[in-house]
Amino acid sequence: MLKVAIVGASGYTGLELIRILHCHPEVAVTCLTSEQSAGKSISDIFPTLRGRCDLLLENLEPVRIAEKADLVFTALPHKAAMEVVPTFLKLGKKVVDLSADYRLSDPAVYGEWYEPHMNPAYLKKAVYGLPEIRRSKIKGAKLVANPGCYPTSIILGLAPLLKKGLIRTQSIIADSASGVTGAGRSAKVDSLYCEVNEGYKAYGVGGIHRHTPEIEQELSLLAGVSLKVTFTPHLVPMDRGILSTIYAAPLNELTTAKLINLYEEFYEGEPFVRVLPHGRLPSTSFVRGSNFCDIAPMIDTRTGRIIVVSAIDNLVKGASGQAVQNMNLICGFPETTGLDALALFP
């Protein structure tokens, strides 16, 4: 049994890791931390766990935690993660980091969008954990930077087009929408039920959302040239899910049938990507609670644009499910272990 610690267990991605790992036959969760709720049982914070996982939450003392675990999931805000990740690595632990701290390979870019990086040397050691495009590197990694939720949906939606060089690289517009778990679990007026419910809005418009450089980094790598995107996030009154509607200009004429064919080939054998048949469109409700990414590429024949719609559960394929998928790869478990559950619908 692999012993696993979850650092930052009282947030939604922490809970989701516990939920998923509860059904993972090769893993035992041995340690949970929470600065705010240390000393309490995790099942007092999240009553869903009562009787199944009643571990006490501990303070974040890396050395003591490392004694109990072989692998550590860090589900912390940015900055908090890079304060502890190096210690875990030095103590020989493997780390899957769900924060943004090791996703950007260039410390200057990190500095521009966040703040000066505390341990830039580690950026080179980190592997960006999107298995569908980086599987072999992840297998040997000690530190996996688990991708952001919006980037996951957008990169998977565009990878086949960029890899094959089929679109104008400066033409990309990604219009995305997220459920409210994306805003985390801290007490803010903006996240109150009555502020969010029955409303739909854009936020971070104009290229200012912090997922922008992550999206551009990975899309540029896929394209082989540096590119910029227009990325607009929206907030949807629902708990879970991200849907991205992505627009791009093709270099040559294409049909929807050809596009679907291309995507099916690109993602052949992928256990968690479903390319939808012609006429079917994704919905976040069809992936809720599962690790799937559903994708529908098509041509707007009137304007010639390519439109790709992709959907994930932001807490699963967009966070904790993908983190477990990465753990499976690192540890040599079958990649889908613990991730078999179908979406909960309705």
Q: Residues 60 to 79: which contact a second copy by CB under 8 A?
A: none
CA angle, 29 then 47 then 188, to 5°: 100
x/- track of binding to a second copy for residues 176-195 (CB under 8 A): -x-xxx---xxxxx-xxxxx
Distance of closest approach, residue 212 Cβ to a second copy, in angstroms: 8
From 149, 194, 293, 331, the catalytic residue:
149
Residue 285 within binding range of a second copy, rule CB under 8 A: yes
x/- track of binding to a second copy for residues 193-222 (CB under 8 A): xxxxxxxxxxx-xxx----x----------
- Pair of tokens at residue 327: 């753990």
CA angle, 339 then 343 then 346, to 5°: 160
With residue 235 as reference, give the H or E element that holds it.
strand 230-235
Q: Taking CB under 8 A as the criterion, which residues in 212-271 touch a second copy?
A: 212, 228-230, 232, 234, 236-241, 243, 245, 247, 256
Residue 55 within binding range of a second copy, rule CB under 8 A: no
Map tokens 């200057």 to a residue: 108
Does 194 participate in catalysis according to the annotation?
no
Among 14, 129, 131, 282, the residue binding a second copy under the rule CB under 8 A is 282
Among 8, 12, 32, 143, the residue binding a second copy under the rule CB under 8 A is 12
x/- track of binding to a second copy for residues 106-145 (CB under 8 A): ----------------------------------------
Distance of closest approach, residue 280 Cβ to a second copy, in angstroms: 7
Q: Taking CB under 8 A as the criterion, which residues in 31-50 touch a second copy?
A: 46-50
CA distance 81 to 97: 7
Residue nearer to a second copy on the CB measure, 66 or 320: 320
The answer to whether 153 and 159 have CB atoms below 8 angstroms apart is: no
Q: Taking CB under 8 A as the criterion, which residues in 141-180 touch a second copy?
A: 170, 173, 175, 177, 179-180
CB within 8 Å of 229: residues ≥ 6 apart? 154, 172, 173, 174, 212, 215, 216, 219
Distance of closest approach, residue 19 Cβ to a second copy, in angstroms: 5
Residue nearer to a second copy on the CB measure, 1 or 205: 205
Distance of closest approach, residue 66 Cβ to a second copy, in angstroms: 27
CA distance 111 to 88: 23
Residue nearer to a second copy on the CB measure, 136 or 186: 186
Query: Which of 57, 65, 52, 58 has the alpha carbon at shortest distance from 23?
Result: 52
Alpha carbon of residue 15 to chain centroid: 15
Between strands 201-202 and 230-235, the pairing is antiparallel
- Pair of tokens at residue 22: 């509860």
CA distance 197 to 67: 44
Q: Taking CB under 8 A as the criterion, which residues in 304-323 touch a second copy?
A: 305, 307, 309, 311
- Pair of tokens at residue 80: 């908090």
Distance of closest approach, residue 187 Cβ to a second copy, in angstroms: 4
Map tokens 């805003």 to a residue: 183
Residues annotated as catalytic are 149
